[in-house]
Amino acid sequence: MQREDLISYLERLVLVRFTESERKRIMEEINKILDFFKSLDEIKELDNYEPLFHVHDIEGPTREDEPSHEVELQRSDVMLNAVLEKGYVKAPRTIEE
């Protein structure tokens, strides 16, 4: 992929836009950073190791199916940062134009 195309692809992937000056800067940096990341290819024995997702080998805990009192207390506050209309959160149109 061309660098210019790559930037546009990334913008769409994470829904951000770079300004003109940022674009220039990131095109320079992205080459360096991806090359830097590529340095892992130098280590041949890497394929002998399984990917490590969680640093500790612990058993995932679970929770009982019981409503929490604590949650009840927070109920009235959790929506304070949203714009509401008749209790609904106001959001943009959902069609893709």
Site for other proteins in 25-84 (CB under 8 A): 25-26, 29-30, 32-34, 36-37, 39-43, 45-47, 49-56, 58-68, 70-71, 74-75, 77-84
Question: Which sign, positive or negative, has the C-alpha torsion 77, 80, 85, 90?
Answer: negative
Which helix (H) or strand (E) segment holds residue 84: the answer is strand 84-85
Phi/psi at 82 (5° precision): -105, 160
3-state secondary structure of 2: coil
> Looking only at residues 9 through 28 of this chain, which bind other proteins when binding is defined by CB under 8 A?
10-11, 13-18, 22, 25-26
Smallest distance from other proteins to CB 4, Å: 14
CB 87, min distance to other proteins, A: 4
**Cβ at position 17, least distance to other proteins in Å:** 4
Residue 78 is encoded by which pair of tokens? 């959790």
Amino acid at 72: E
